[in-house]
Amino acid sequence: MSTLVPNKVVSETRFVTATPQEIFNLLADPDQHQLIDGSGSVKNANSSSPERLSLGVKFGMDMKIGVKYKITNEVVEFDEPNQIAWRHFGGHIWRYKLEAVEGGTQVTEQFDWNTAKSHFMMRVMQYPTKNRTSIVATLDRLAEHFAK
């Protein structure tokens, strides 16, 4: 397993037997996020969330880590079918990069905390380490989803 890189990006990659467009379609649909969430915290998209994400769109998710809460994200990168990313109110970014390869797609998920509002809080709460574990589980679930 790789270590945290100096520019504060936690990144993992997995091969998935689906096209970049198929994977992008899933990622651009907030209602589908709970299917692949490896953290177990994503419960469902808020009713006010759009059916499909696009650049600049805000979408809400119902979450639960111990207690239920709601979170709003904004899509900050959107290059269909290659890359999509959204920023959390805490400033950090969740990013997916999709690269077509023979037989499927190399999917890279990243937790980018370069823009986080509190780097101190990120370290104290051990988010880079915890999120690496969740990213691995998410990529495993994504691969399983398309292997069916």
Per-residue pLDDT at 122: 85
In a domain, 22, yes or no: yes
3 within domain boundaries = no
Query: What are the angstrom distances between the C-alpha of 140 and each of 46, 72, 127, 128?
Result: 25, 25, 20, 18
- Confirm whether 2 is domain-assigned: no
The parent domain of residue 120 ranges over 10-147
Q: Does some domain include residue 84?
A: yes
Tokens of 129: 């380490």
- Asked if residue 20 belongs to a domain, the reply is yes
Query: How many domains are there within the chain?
Result: 1
pTM assigned to the model: 0.92
pLDDT recorded at residue 6: 55
Q: What is the percent of the chain with per-residue pLDDT over 90, rounded to a whole number?
A: 78
pLDDT band at 120 (very low <50, low <70, confident <90, very high): confident
Per-residue burial over 52-61, b if 16 or more Cβ lie within 10 Å, else e, is ebeeebebbb
Distance CA 70, CA 90 (A): 13
Average pLDDT, stretch 7-31?
A: 96
Predicted local confidence at residue 5, as pLDDT: 46
| CATH code of the domain containing 118 | 3.30.530.20
Average pLDDT of the segment spanning 3-27: 88
Smallest CA-to-CA distance from 81 within 20, 7, 137 is with 20
pLDDT of residue 79: 98
Give me the chain's average pLDDT, please: 92
Please report whether residue 137 resides in a domain: yes
pLDDT at 46: 87
Give domain status of residue 101, yes or no: yes
Q: Please provide residue 135's backbone torsions phi and psi, each rounded to the nearest 5 degrees.
A: -65, -45
